[in-house]
């Protein structure tokens, strides 16, 4: 451990580092309360990039997690880390080795292959465009092109969940439930056409807190948007709406966007709305 008392962790990638960062954060979550300095080295693809990374490791000794595919660069990082008395972990190796045995073929050794401009990439871009175009109930006839419709009262995380799902290539539309107003007819037409609908809800106390923060940010303190009694009525009406139309419900009160999206994907995969 460094003299400062704050341990370091190096994440070295020959691409964007997103996969590595997610894995590192997931592992660190098992050590709650530990303050770790994360040193990111991304797009490490040249000898000069490797040298810069090695200097960083030398200046801040700590374990090295990497996803490098170039064997020469891997060897140099491993050697430098060992010389500094630090461990290295090629985090994808066990998974790639398992797949190689299962598929009966050797993996390709080119960096950034998960970010290729292939059909899946363009599907994600199309899904993002879709999520933005249909945010906050901008429905119309094209709603029938959605893979799933998310509905619920205001501030139940519909928009960020739609955006997150879009990154997974899922076209999600947002249909807000507005007090004393019937949903757009296009919504019922999409339901009749077989488009899956999932309701999002949250505790009135949580919604009141989030809405109050929203009003404060807007400088509006006179609006009844954050009134707890009104919110209770909205949530109760939404529950009845979901029940009346047979809509599955996810309570997002204590769920992250990632957890909500995972549950939505599980519902889609379990039913006719399967999205691959």
Instruction: Please report the domains of the chain, with CATH numbers, ordered by start residue.
Output: 8-113 (3.40.50), 119-270 (3.40.50)
Mean predicted lDDT score pLDDT of the chain:
87
Of 24, 79, 28, 29, nearest to 50 by C-alpha is 79
Q: Which two tokens stand for residue 155?
A: 């501030």
DSSP state at residue 168: T
Predicted model pTM: 0.68
Residue 1 has pLDDT above 90, yes or no: no
Q: Which of 1-5, 58-62, 134-138, 227-231 has the lowest mean pLDDT?
A: 1-5
Q: How far apart are CA 259 and CA 199, in angstroms?
A: 15
Burial 171-206 (b: 16+ CB within 10 A, else e): bbbbbbbeeeeebeebbeebbeeebbbbbbbbebeb
Q: What are 186's two structure tokens? A: 């296009």
The token pair that represents 182 in the structure block:
């019937």
Closest-CA residue to 63 (of 20, 104, 119, 115): 20
Give the other-Cβ count within 10 Å of 50's Cβ: 22
pLDDT digits 0-9 by tens, 208-251: 999 998 888 887 766 788 999 999 999 999 999 999 999 999 99
Tens-digit pLDDT profile for residues 171-207? 999 999 999 899 989 999 999 999 999 999 999 999 9
Q: Read off the tokens for 225.
A: 């948007």
Beta strands in the chain (DSSP E): 8-12, 37-41, 64-66, 88-90, 148-152, 172-176, 197-201, 249-251
Has residue 3 got a pLDDT over 50? no
Interval 125-149 mean pLDDT:
77
Whether residue 2 is predicted with pLDDT greater than 60 in this model: the reply is no
What pLDDT does 222 receive? Answer: 60
Q: Residue 6 pLDDT > 50, yes or no? A: yes
């Amino acid at each position: 451990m460094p003299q400062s008392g704050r341990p370091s962790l190096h994440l070295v990638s020959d691409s964007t580092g997103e996969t590595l960062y997610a894995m590192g954060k997931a592992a660190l979550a098992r050590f709650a309360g530990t303050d770790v300095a994360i040193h990111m080295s991304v797009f490490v693809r040249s000898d000069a990039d490797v040298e810069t990374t090695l200097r960083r490791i030398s200046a801040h000794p700590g374990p090295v997690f990497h996803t490098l595919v170039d064997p020469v660069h891997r060897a140099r990082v491993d050697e430098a880390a060992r010389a500094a008395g630090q461990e290295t972990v090629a985090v994808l190796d066990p998974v790639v080795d398992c797949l190689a045995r299962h598929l009966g073929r050797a993996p390709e050794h080119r960096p950034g292959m998960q970010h290729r401009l292939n059909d899946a990439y363009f599907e994600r871009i199309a899904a993002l465009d879709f999520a933005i175009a249909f945010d906050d109930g901008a429905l119309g006839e094209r709603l029938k092109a959605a893979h799933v419709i998310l509905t619920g009262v205001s501030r139940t995380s519909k928009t960020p969940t739609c955006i997150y799902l879009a990154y997974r290539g899922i076209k999600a539309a947002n249909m807000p439930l507005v007090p004393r107003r019937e949903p757009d007819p296009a919504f019922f037409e999409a339901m009749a056409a077989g488009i899956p609908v999932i309701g999002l809800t949250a505790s009135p106390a949580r919604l009141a807190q989030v809405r109050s923060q929203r009003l404060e940010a807007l400088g509006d303190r006179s609006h009844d948007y954050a009134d707890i009694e009104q919110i209770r009525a909205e949530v109760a009406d939404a529950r009845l709406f979901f029940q009346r139309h047979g809509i599955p419900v996810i309570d997002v009160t204590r769920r992250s966007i990632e957890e909500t999206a995972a549950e939505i994907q599980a519902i889609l995969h379990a039913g006719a709305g399967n999205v691959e």
